[in-house]
Structure 1
Amino acid sequence: MARRSSAVRPNVPSGQSASVKQIRCAIYTRKSTEEGLEQEFNSLDAQREACAAYIVSQRHEGWVQMPDYYDDGGYSGGNMERPALKQLLAEIEAGRVDVIVVYKVDRLTRALSDFARIVEILDRSKASFVSVTQAFNTTTSMGRLTLNVLLSFAQFEREVTGERIRDKVASSKKKGMWMGGPVPLGYMVKDRKLIIIPEEAETVRLIFQRHQACGSLKALADDLAARGITSRLRTMKDGRTIGGQPFKSGALYWIIRNVIYAGLIPHKEALYQGEHQGIISREHWDASQALLNNNALRPHTGQRSILRYMIVDGLGRSMIVAHGRKGTRRYRYYVSKPVDGISKPTWRLPAGDLESLVRIAMLELLNNPLRLQTELGQLDRDHQLADAGHRLAEQLKAPMSMRALLEDLQAAITLKQDEIMICMEGAALINKLGIANTSLPIGHQVRLTVPVCLRRRGHELRLVFTAPDSRRAERDERLIRLLASGRAAWQQLVTRQPAFDSHQRSHLVRLARLNFLAPDIIMAVLSGRQPVELTSRSLLRLSCLPNDWTEQRRVLGFG
């Protein structure tokens, strides 16, 4: 942002009557884009000058301009993720500002929901706001109605603009036009069109040819490495150089899945003939897709170990994949690899638990544009951020595509006693989103933390969310049948039908105790929300089940 003009100075009235209460006014300015902010006198300065003049006109009311600047240059009014706005609201809650002065209402916000939150903060702090070009009296119902109408139109304008952009993208792709994003290997962009680079196109053709010959992505990666084939070397806007490395399986997966190489343009589930020239034939591309689909699951288990080679435990030991079998069922685990000098017991955790928690954390990030902005900073083309995040989130559904995405993001996962830490390369995530950001620091890491706890279920450790309501419901049918048996045993004891001996009576009494469990415990079991360590075996083996419901919750792990 350019150096602020000195033409506007805070107005501190002199000789003001002591009987007039001083009203502290803070000027808030905003501009949606950074265009023109480098000028000596820019839009923010113009807004501030108009607001300062209005404060001077209200000097007789005791209005005084605060000296601090609250400027959000290059921030959208569609959300409240703006540093200056957050600072200003904090000042209001602290009681250091009485009035917010803005040039127009839409400079403060363009969303009704956000406006309601701001008004709530103002009312709670007995503060108010003023728009210098729009006369409002928000103490009356008519004034609030007029303000809400204006804000509704501002929000409508923002939403219509988004719809118009999405419609334009859809229409352009139907005509086969390339609408931006990461430029695929083998192409360059000229006049907003994809043009083939002959040398790189040969590499792409070789990748598809060798994929058919090698039969798997791992074998293909080894084959290309042996041939000295490396990825495209690129220089970023901030001077960093990336690429020039041997291809990994994840990168090869997305090259082979990219239908642009067949001369087509994808949009959602549809494919359209592109304006650009394809590097391979549609038949060759279809053959590679069939091979990828056939190799999506490992034949001997039918399951993929998504986090293999990516995860370490809290002591820094790599966690490798192990399998167990009980009858005809096969189980997958992540197990700590023993390390010389570390005598503490290794961890052995079900793979499904860990993979599910990582998937949920990634979905929460990718489906939340505001959180993406928080993690990655202000991004160009913010209106495309939600669509790009949802597109990446779709890749988390299938095990193979989820692993490929984590590889591309250079994910590293650390499992601790109380949390899972997921670290990703910020530049890699921005690249996958297809949205530029030149302000991201070099080496910036995106870190996701999932609070968890280790619980023992029988002979096995289980990994669950710290908050019980956050984990998915898992109905234990054997536990539910045991509760039903408790009800039936009580009925038999009451009616004494049929007749039973002392041994049978002892067993029925043991079961009948379960008929007196607290109602909320029973409902939690029926809905699958019981503590993970509560099983039919642990409940039946409990020597003394308290009659007091509060004590029951503590003993059974609900408290």
Structure 2
Amino acid sequence: PKGYDLGDRRLDANPIEAEQVRYIFKRYLELNSLISLAKDLDQNNIRSKRWTARSGKERGGYLYGPSGLSYLLRNRIYLGEITHKDKSYPGEHAGIIEAALFQQVQDRLAQNHHKFVQRRARSAACPLQNKIFDAQGKPMRPNFGYGRGKKIYRYYVSDTLLPLGRLKAGGTTPLGDRLSAERTERFLQDRLGSLIPDGPDFEIFEAIQRVMFSSNKLTVTFEVAALIDTNACEDTLLAKAQQIDPAAKIDNDDLVLSLDARPLRRGKSVRSTDCFLDAPEQRRVLAELVRTSHRKLTELNASPLHPEMHEHMSTPINEWTRERIAIGLLAPDIQRALLTGKAPLGLDPEKLLSRDMPLDWDGQRKFLGMNAAT
């Protein structure tokens, strides 16, 4: 193991590696995350144990991942013990980690494992887990965010955009997508509900084998046998599917069809739009964007409603805020329409965040498809 060399039929401490192992234990307690620890070790050029095999080839020297670090931090060999069949015995080698530090790390690992189990339980409520993939063919994993009142928001996020995926990318800017799980699932249920066979409590997700999210569509693959009941046949199923997507087809034992997903391309990035919003939710999201904008403008002493505070104006600290404060500076009639639910049906909330928004009010109305102020 890292920290030791093989001596005369026993392990001898390697001073340089032993110091690195002690750093790993202490740093984990500071960072409280295996992924953050892996990133820290990469930045400090700390790699796994390197040795020379009998063939003369160099082995090891790899980047640490969370699983490898978890194994290292639980290894009782660093206490000077040997483990056999889940029991530990005093070894002939010297320990390089103090018992108190080792126990602190075990307690922290157990605590974080409990949180992991809770996250895994929440992930089980995501019916597209292990079934949805992005345009690069990478899995989209369940991810969670917290809103006001500790409300949990579920997302499907490209593996490359999650912390471990970024670590594997090695500093390069990864490509990927992020979708609202609730909206995506509701969208699929609404659009594909006619394919569900008659039966108790049957959900469309039971028959879905794979969903591929690309730049302009969701391509859904079903297991045909799961969608056919005793009163139907493949021809009937295909006819129903072609009412949804004229290009739908049955390939071997699979039904494949596509649904329009219409993303919005902004500069060099691609953002998934709220194209899955129904009308009531669209109105709520548009109104909330206006309220958020004015709240942030007030916090920055930049609200047009309180010009007496402008001398204390400060700049926004992140891109998220910069995008939203501009909404509070749109033409008054546009903001009124957004707040009262009178904006054009189908207005994409992402369009309000576009860098292409004109500065003049007439240009804004034209850009958003609204009539001129009366």
TM-score range, shorter chain: 0.3 to 0.5
Structure 2 length normalisation: TM-score?
A: 0.37
Larger Rg over CA atoms: 1
Structure 1 length normalisation: TM-score?
A: 0.26
